[in-house]
Chain A
Amino acid sequence: MKITLTLNDELISAEVEPRQSLVDFLRALGLTGTRSGCEHGVCGACSVRVAGQVVRGCLMLAVQADGEVVETIEGLTATAEIADLQDAFHRRNALQCGFCTAGMLLTAQDLLLAQAAPTRADIRAHLSGNYCRCTGYQAIVDAVAEVAQARAAR
């Protein structure tokens, strides 16, 4: 099937198999920052933004993205929308292996867009759909809290 979508600010058309997931479609285009972790909608490694909402790239088919605006970690990096989060994650070592990181960043940004002054418990709750085996989460919570405060002070 042919689909047309806006992908990280570029209008693209592509021929896809109906059964192909959005994450597999994106990865086949070389956007490998979005990853497959469980293919079950549980781990959050495949998180992408579709029409402004963070969704699971493994639970959505590529054909469902037809006509949509799709943004990935590569796109959010290019626009510098999450540069402060990326810097805070870096300083605080809020990542180890890095496999969950794109999903964490998109999900954290999702929270910060919705809530200017989240508590640590709010942050933990919002990130509870993103699995990280390495960090134990505290550094991630610290980094997100730091950015929330910095943005509120701007």
Chain B
Amino acid sequence: MTQGDPQIGKSIPRPNARRLLQGKGRFVADKVLPRMLHAAFVRSPYAHARILHIDLAAARALPGVVAVYDGPAIAAQVVPFVGILTHMTGMKSPPQPALACGVTHWQGEPVVMIVAQSRALAEDAAGLVEVDYDPLPPVCDMATALAPDAPLVHPDLGTNLCWERRIDVGAVDDAFAQATHVVERQFVIGRHTGVTLEPRVCIYDYDGSEERLTLHYSGQVPHMMQAVLAKHLGLPESHVRVIAEDVGGSFGIKIHTYGDEIATAVAAKLLRRPVQFAADRYESFLSDIHARDHRVWARAAIDEAGSLTALEIDDLTGIGPYSVYPRSSAIEGNQVLNLTGAPYRIPAYRGQLRVVFQTKVPTCQYRGVGHPIAVAVMEGLMDDLAAVSGRDPAVLRSINLIADDAYPVKSPQGMLFADLSHQACLTRLKALMDYDGLRAEQAALREKGVHRGIGLVSMVEITNPSPAFYGVGGAPIAAQDGATARLDASGEVHIANSVTEQGQGTETVLAQIAAQVLGLDPARITVTTGDTATVPSGGGTWASRGAGIGGEAMLRAAQALKQQITGIAAAILQCDPETLDLANGAVVDAQGQARITLQALAQMVYYRGNELPPGLATELVATRHFRVEGMPFVFSNGAMASYVEVDAETGIVRLLGHWVVEDVGTILNQQLVDEQIRGGVVQGIGGALFEECHYSEEGQLQNATLADYLVPMAGEMPDIQIAHVVTPTRTSALGAKGAGEAGTTGAPGAVMNAVNDALRPLGGQISQMPMTPERILRALGIIEGPLHDEA
């Protein structure tokens, strides 16, 4: 791309991490605006209840309380929102009020909003609100939610079924009838949540004089929020500005429309003052979206040669009372249906998905979105097939993984895969982990009563989505991103991009791309992201699209700026622009000789334009957009292994090692890619071993504190070794695929397979996550009876 030092691929540290290391982060809760008020919410104590009466008098009378709103008061100011994507035919979900109106549908749903001079005062006032409820029957168990006599979450819909989908391709029944081996299993993937260390937080600032709303936003999708706020608060989009500076973790939690945040916007608009809402941890557990909560029955068949002949899955998932706006809550199940079996050649496939309403916290997209389930199910079946056919699990995978030179390949589900490298990744993984050596160690230790297991997975990850994901369904979510590159008079470059930073290193890799094209030290490049007033419009950060889509836009913008610079330089130097390049902060000729520095060129353009030829185009700023065309998604792929030891007396799992080989296409900054993978692996391990939202039969969340909800901590986590196979995507010049969700996609299945590999000689099998010690001991038949926590 240029003859300067290569910047793409370098593991340079993130310049924007410096301030975070010195306690100088710029998080929303750090911001204090003049006359800012604070919100607190009265939330439903019941999973399902009719609101009979609300008494706000005592709360309103408390000194320091500025306003108190109930559901109808907020609803009068908001155009209702409905979380349906039109391309998912038949999906149902009612309009969701910002605050409950008449009926509450989950424990934690906001019912009354208090706005006061401090959060403490607002909480005091919340304690003075009296609400009379008439409890209604909760709908907790998704398995019984579809029974004819089940109570309905929304009687007007006449059903608790939000959406269903069936796929039936090939002669599935014949294949199972003729198979050499068939295995089947019921998987249960628990409900868990994102637990961003920074809870959801927002400040809405409304300037009544200009009727302009500014959101200080902790989230991933500024432009989507701009569109959502404009539409539902009745403002022109140009009057809504969304600014995201530092975001304390997001992982999908902060890309949704939350009623309490919309109510905060309404309060700011009505009061014409800044209003902050900062959720506390208890509110986070009761109102951040949850995820997963799937029960998947699955079976698969192989022939005599070990080749897969058929796969069938039936996924039942509970999403709470509303499909969440605007992305919908049916995507996760849809991705389970679409991705199960993706790495393999499978001639016949049948899938059924049912998405059901419950009276629990709404679920929606969270890191990995369906992938961890698809991987755990398929890879669990692969290990069962290996065991029943007497094959090594790695060998059975080698037999069935689609050959690396066979792409493009269309799956039975209609997914189009290209530029993947499953075989190479598995081969590399086996070498990285010393697969044969570990198998020998495992066998030797079994002789001594030590139960170790090795779990393998192969996986794909949806990245770089095209408009096929959301835009076609009517959601205000851009599939394209935009980038601007600008040369200033100082000779320094400023870039802006619509993808956002939550610590993954977006700004760093964007600067690396621009630096390489422009032959500049990345330290001379300043980056702006996260502000709808100053960056080009675009989709933001989700579905592992920042590097691939935002990065390609950045590449094109930088190339366009380079053309402007060399065009101006050619006029100054009286030469052909084609002979010029950029390196080391200067325009260089074909011999690599510096002819004019970028600073000298820029100063001539900005300050002494009189020295330039008349009529010369002197733009030193370029904006380009990019979207993926020709493919609905750009898939990345990888292989992963987990090595565990299970204590057969306590059921405790010790993580001994974890290995990942990932193909993310062109690597922009290897350290940042590796750290995305490591963090994702640990997040996946959380779901596999620890994390679960426990509900009582009444629909009460039993563990809504960080003391009760277990997350992975440093002590239990293994070191994670990572290697790469590089197959650039041909959908872009940059060649980058996404990397952000790979770890979370594969880790749960790898750990579950490793645990089952350890349990197999003991005659036990576990198919439920998280794999708590209690569940492992039940799988071994050591303790019996119903689980204490099932609802």
Interface assignment of A148: CB less than 8 Å from any CB of chain B: no
For B194, list chain A residues within 8 Å (CB). 133
Q: Contacts A133-B711, A138-B720 given: A95-B21 contact, CB under 8 Å? A: yes
Q: Contacts A45-B197, A99-B197, A124-B715 given: A93-B22 contact, CB under 8 Å? A: no
B706 touches A42 (CB 8 A): yes
Shortest distance from the beta carbon of A139 to any chain B beta carbon, whole Å: 6
A35 touches B249 (CB 8 A): no
A138 touches B717 (CB 8 A): yes
Picked from B199, B247, B672, B711, the residue with its CB within 8 Å of the CB of A131 is B711
- Which residues 244-264 of B sit at the A interface, judged by CB distance below 8 A? 246-251
Chain A interface residue count, Cβ-Cβ cutoff 8 angstroms:
56
B675 touches A96 (CB 8 A): yes
For B715, list chain A residues within 8 Å (CB). 124-125, 127-128
The majority secondary structure among interface residues of chain B is loop
A139 touches B678 (CB 8 A): yes
The majority secondary structure among interface residues of chain A is loop
Distance in angstroms between the alpha carbons of A120 and B715 in the assembled complex:
10
Q: Contacts A33-B23, A74-B23 given: A93-B197 contact, CB under 8 Å? A: no
For A141, list chain B residues within 8 Å (CB). 714, 719
- Seed contacts A42-B707, A136-B683, A137-B717; 10 additional CB < 8 Å A-B pairs: A33-B23, A96-B502, A97-B248, A98-B25, A99-B196, A120-B719, A127-B713, A133-B196, A133-B711, A136-B679
Picked from A17, A90, A124, the residue with its CB within 8 Å of the CB of B13 is A90
CB-defined A-B contacts under 8 Å, sample of 16: A35-B198, A77-B23, A89-B21, A97-B197, A98-B17, A98-B248, A99-B248, A99-B249, A100-B197, A127-B713, A133-B195, A135-B679, A136-B675, A136-B717, A138-B720, A140-B714
For B683, list chain A residues within 8 Å (CB). 133, 136
Interface assignment of A3: CB less than 8 Å from any CB of chain B: no
Distance in angstroms between the alpha carbons of A37 and B249 in the assembled complex:
11
- Which residues 55-110 of A sit at the B interface, judged by CB distance below 8 A? 72-74, 77, 86, 89-93, 95-102, 105
Distance in angstroms between the alpha carbons of A129 and B13 in the assembled complex:
26
B interface, size bucket? 35 or more
Contact with B along A30-42 (1 / 0, CB 8 A): 0111111111111
Across chains A and B, the number of contacting residue pairs, with CB separation under 8 Å, is 174
Distance in angstroms between the alpha carbons of A129 and B713 in the assembled complex:
7
Interface assignment of B281: CB less than 8 Å from any CB of chain A: yes
B198 touches A97 (CB 8 A): yes
Closest 6 CB pairs of A and B: A33-B23, A98-B20, A96-B503, A99-B248, A136-B682, A73-B23
Interface assignment of B87: CB less than 8 Å from any CB of chain A: no
Shortest distance from the beta carbon of B697 to any chain A beta carbon, whole Å: 26
B713 touches A128 (CB 8 A): yes
Residue from A17, A72, A135 having most chain B Cβ neighbours under 10 A: A135
B281 touches A135 (CB 8 A): no
Q: Contacts A98-B17, A134-B249 given: A33-B720 contact, CB under 8 Å? A: no
B714 touches A97 (CB 8 A): no
B23 touches A31 (CB 8 A): yes
Nearest B residue to A127, CB-CB: B714
